[in-house]
């Protein structure tokens, strides 16, 4: 099962038919995906499931219905075990950004972390999971698929947020501060922390 977020509301891709209770279920094959997204953005649907019998191709089916943007992001630790966060649009997030043509995803993640935060000396230590969310740009809904990477850095300067990307603040947060920041973050980021059990 895949969990895609639309304005922080979950849209599940599933190959199991469930009896509806607090959610709506639609057939992925025949649904007008944009109508569902609009309803979710407008709070008319809080949670929904899209059903397709073959789990192997369920994500491929969704991609046929909506343009995809690929991104790479970094889950960066410093020597003290603190995690690098950015504050954008009043919410805490992790640095990430769009893939350029011909670029390897790990290079995208490294480049974006450095561009958005000024933190360098980055080393990828492992590949983490992907997260999925739908956003609107220039009147078009897109599915953003972000591949996350765990990284370390010996950088000891002061991180500076990339102003043209709307980054208000960059901070290294200790485990306690991370828990606080997650209360004002995105569902995808919370999911990443939960599923990866990344805080050491």
pLDDT confidence of residue 20: 67
In whole angstroms, what is the distance from residue 62 CA to residue 118 CA? 35
Arithmetic mean of pLDDT, 85-107 = 96
Contacts of 123 (CB under 8 A, 6+ apart): 151, 152, 153
Taking 70 as the threshold, does the pLDDT of residue 113 lie above it? yes
Taking 70 as the threshold, does the pLDDT of residue 64 lie above it? yes
Strands 122-137 and 140-153, bridge-based pairing: antiparallel
Average confidence score pLDDT of the chain: 93
Fold (CATH) for 68-196: Nucleoside Triphosphate Pyrophosphohydrolase (3.90.79)
Kindly report the pTM of this predicted structure.
Answer: 0.92
Residue spans of the domains in the chain: they are 2-65, 68-196
Cα maximum dimension of the chain: 54
In whole angstroms, what is the distance from residue 45 CA to residue 12 CA? 13
Q: Which helix (H) or strand (E) holds 25?
A: strand 24-27
DSSP structure class, residue 53: S
Burial per residue of 153-187, b for 16 or more beta-carbon CB atoms within 10 angstroms, e otherwise = bebeeebebbeeeebeebbbbeeeebeebbeebbb
Taking 90 as the threshold, does the pLDDT of residue 196 lie above it? no
Among 151, 162, 78, smallest CA distance to 109 is for 151
Reported as a single tens digit per residue, the pLDDT across 38-52 is 999 999 999 999 999
Q: How large a percentage of the chain has pLDDT more than 90?
A: 88
Give the C-alpha distances (Å, rounded to integers) separating 82 from 68, 133, 145, 192.
32, 26, 25, 16
- Which carries the bigger pLDDT value, residue 1 or residue 111? 111
List residues bridging with 72 in a β-sheet: 97, 147
Taking 60 as the threshold, does the pLDDT of residue 199 lie above it? no
pLDDT confidence of residue 200: 46
* Range name among 1-10, 20-29, 138-147, 177-186 with the lowest pLDDT average: 20-29
């Amino acid at each position: 099962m895949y969990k895609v977020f639309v304005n922080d509301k979950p849209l599940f891709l599933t190959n199991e038919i469930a009896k509806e209770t607090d959610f709506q279920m639609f057939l992925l094959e025949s649904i007008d995906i944009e109508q569902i997204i609009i309803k979710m953005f407008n709070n008319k649907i809080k949670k929904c499931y899209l059903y397709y019998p073959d789990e192997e191709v369920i994500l491929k089916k969704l991609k046929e219905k909506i343009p995809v943007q690929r991104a790479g992001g970094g889950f960066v630790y410093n020597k003290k075990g603190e995690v690098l966060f950015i504050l954008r649009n009043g919410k805490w997030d992790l640095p990430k950004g769009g893939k350029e043509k011909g670029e390897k995803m790990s290079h995208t993640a490294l480049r974006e972390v450095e561009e958005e935060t000024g933190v360098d000396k980055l080393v990828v230590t492992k590949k983490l999971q992907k997260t999925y969310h739908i956003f609107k740009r220039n009147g078009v809904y897109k599915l953003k698929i972000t591949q996350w990477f765990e990284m370390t850095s010996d950088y000891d300067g002061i991180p500076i947020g990339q102003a043209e990307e709307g980054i208000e603040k960059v901070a290294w947060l200790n485990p306690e501060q991370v828990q606080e920041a997650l209360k004002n973050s995105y569902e995808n980021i919370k999911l990443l922390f939960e599923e990866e059990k990344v805080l050491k």
